[in-house]
Structure 1
Amino acid sequence: MKKYFFVTLILLIHLNGFAQGNQVSGTVTYSVSLEPIYNAVAERYKRESNKSALQIFSSMAETASNFECKLSFNGFKSKFGLVNAMALGGLDRNKMLAVRAVAQGDYYTNLLLKKQILQDNSSTDLYIESNLEHIDWKLTKNIKKIGDYVCYKAMAYKELMNEETVAIEVWYTPQIPIAFGPKEYVGNLPGLVLEYKDHIVHFVAKKVVLNPKKLIVINWPEGETISKEDYQKQQTISFSTLKENSGR
């Protein structure tokens, strides 16, 4: 009986410490750049006489430079997305392309459930649910400061639907030991991500607020969800249909 009580006591102490360690709340505001995709397109089309594609990406990059993204977190939940994304609905085609390139919508994460829901910004009723991906990060010894925080570089590689592999580079800070970051890159880094870069977009933290006086509330989306796998199938079918129709 005494042994059972001791084990229970140790377990409760451990769980209490774990819970307290995950009660950090705050926000990170990121600057936005589409320089990675613009540079790739510029390199591809620099010898082409038709500069229309480059002009489109130039307009997208210029528009995105005025955007901000925000990560909010409280305990085991987080939300990441464009600031005031709903107010961007009336933008022209190039600006809407910039919105979609930066973030597909609002990303809600629950580390306890190991779940994420993406509220797609193409429709207020589209909720895409997925399990958190295990990302095989390569942690490096590269160090730099972002604001007041010492950050370490980590690299990962992701295979796209067209089987192309792209590099993901992040800088995280162990000074804020919580596993949150932009988009789906959450769950298994030993610190908050303050910089993120892939083949399309680049985010850099410009403001970090920890444990603000005003309570941060992250409301888990309610509504019917579609799995990430089913959504990708729908996208593939829609793209194939579009190609067939355009070829007629």
Structure 2
Amino acid sequence: MKDKWSIGLILVLLCASSYAQDFQGKATYQSKTQVNMDFGGRKIPEDRKKEIMERMKKANEKTFELTFNQTESIYEEEEQLEQPGGREGGRRPRFGAMMASGGDLYKDIKSQRYLIKNELLGKIFLVDDELEKLDWKLESDTKQIGNYTAFKATAVKTIKRPNMRAVFRRPNDLEKKEGEKKDEEFIIKEVEIIAWYTPEIPINQGPASYWGLPGLILAVSDDITTIVCSEITLNPSEKIEIKAPSKGKKVTQTEYDEISQEKMKEMRENFRNRRGRGDGRPQ
């Protein structure tokens, strides 16, 4: 392990010698998340199910831009153009609107902190906390990603995700499962993270919350989401300015998770109340 880290650091130092201290750039990433929708045995027409799944799939295919220098980065989602004739006018499905909407993610490697602006049911929060350090294992596998040679690294990460099944499941379905396992608002589990980084770009940044490898992370995946770099621009002629998000109520990650959990409980109760009035069909 130490030998692999030493080799990686040497590669970074060698590559870094060819760059000035103001080294900066931009990387575009395509993110795709698998959708497994549980309709809970409800009698929904197949064409309606297909429509819901297609809308969910599109909502989970996104494009992001990572702007970086040697110590800072900001990860922003590109705005989607409205689709002509679309029922939602180009907006995300209402499933996504009910959930937290992630904003700009700022990472400062020097201070090892991050800031992210999140909108939760119309209210804006600014999460300010320490960067998570993953215990990366450097592998010998390599592959070509665009014009760069990428090296494989793996780590185990605890993932916390909203449990939509708990929100949309009928009350009688919950009673049936009570003796087995309670449906909670969030699912927490450990998953393997697979990343591909290139020492040819000597920064330890990456997409989303990922960082800490001896080179820019070009691709990363967990159990349901895959993020792949599609374009890189290094040292553009126009100087890049990285601004950390500043708007919103400042909270820690733990505080934000607690608020999210309470909002999820409210959503579940509201949905069940609508179901009781015969108005709980997913939109």
* TM-score, L = length of structure 2: 0.66
**CA separation of 1:200 and 1:58: change in aligned 2, threshold 3 A:** farther
CA–CA distance in 2 between the matches of 1:197 and 1:144?
A: 15
- CA deviations 1:205-225 (Å, max 9, x no partner) are 111111111111001222441
Query: Is the Cα–Cα contact under 8 Å of residues 201 and 216 in structure 2 kept in the other structure?
Result: yes
Higher helix share: 1
Matched positions, count: 222
Per-residue CA deviation, residues 99-154 of structure 1 (Å, 9 max, x unaligned), is: x79x8221001111211001115557321111011111122111101111000111
Rounded Cα–Cα distance in structure 1 between residues aligned with 2:79 and 2:270:
35
Q: Describe how 1:19-38 pairs up with structure 2 within 5 A.
A: 23-34=22-33, 37-38=34-35
1:192 maps to what in 2? 216
Report the equivalent of 1:108: 106
Distance 1:25 1:165 in 2: 34
Distance 2:64 2:74 in 1: 10
1:222 aligns with 2:246: yes
Match of 1:8 in 2: none
Question: Comparing 215-224 with 87-96, which one deviates more in the overlay?
Answer: 87-96
Question: Bigger shift: 86-95 or 207-216?
Answer: 86-95
For the residue of structure 2 that corresponds to 1:118, the secondary structure is strand
Are the equivalent residues in 1 in contact too, given 2:81–2:90 (CA < 8 A)?
no
Matched to 2:225, the amino acid is V
Which segments of 5 or more consecutive residues in structure 1 lack a partner in the other structure?
1-16
Partner SS, residue 243 of structure 1: helix
Write the deviation string for residues 142-183 of structure 1: whole angstroms up to 9, x where unpaired: 110111100011122222343322222211101112111111
Aligned partners of 1:22 and 1:60: how far apart in 2?
Answer: 43
**Cα separation, 1, equivalents of 2:59 and 2:267:** 27
**1:22-61 equivalence runs, <5 A:** 23-34=22-33, 37-38=34-35, 41=36, 55-61=51-57
Counterpart-to-counterpart distance in 1, 2:72 and 2:89: 30
Provide closer, same or farther for how the CA distance between residues 87 and 129 of structure 1 changes in structure 2, counting only shifts above 3 A: farther
Change (3 A) 1:97 1:246: closer
Q: Is 1:73 paired with 2:71?
A: no
- How has the CA–CA distance of structure 1 residues 217 and 225 changed in structure 2, closer, same or farther, with 3 Å as cutoff? same
Secondary structure (helix, strand or coil) at the match of 2:264 reads helix
Aligned: 1:147 with 2:172: no
Q: Distance in 1 between matches of 2:22 and 2:94?
A: 37
Gaps of 5+ in 2: 1-15, 161-186, 274-283
Structure-2 separation of matches of 1:192 and 1:147: 13
Match of 2:262, SS state, is helix
Instruction: Give the AA of the match of 1:232.
Output: D
Name the structure 1 match of 2:199: 174
2:93 aligned residue = 94
State the 1:31 CA deviation: 2.2
CA RMSD in angstroms, aligned pairs only: 3.5
**Residue pair 1:22, 1:178 contacting (<8 A) in 2 also:** no
- Which 10-residue stretch deviates more, 149-158 or 53-62? 53-62
Q: Give the match's secondary structure for 2:107.
A: strand
Task: Report how far residue 22 of structure 1 moved.
Answer: 5.4
Query: Where in structure 2 are the equivalents of 1:9-28 lying within 5 Å?
Result: 23-28=22-27
SS of the residue corresponding to residue 160 of structure 1 reads: strand
Question: Residue 30 of structure 2: SS of its match in structure 1?
Answer: strand
Shift in CA distance, 226/21, structure 1 to aligned 2, threshold 3 Å: farther
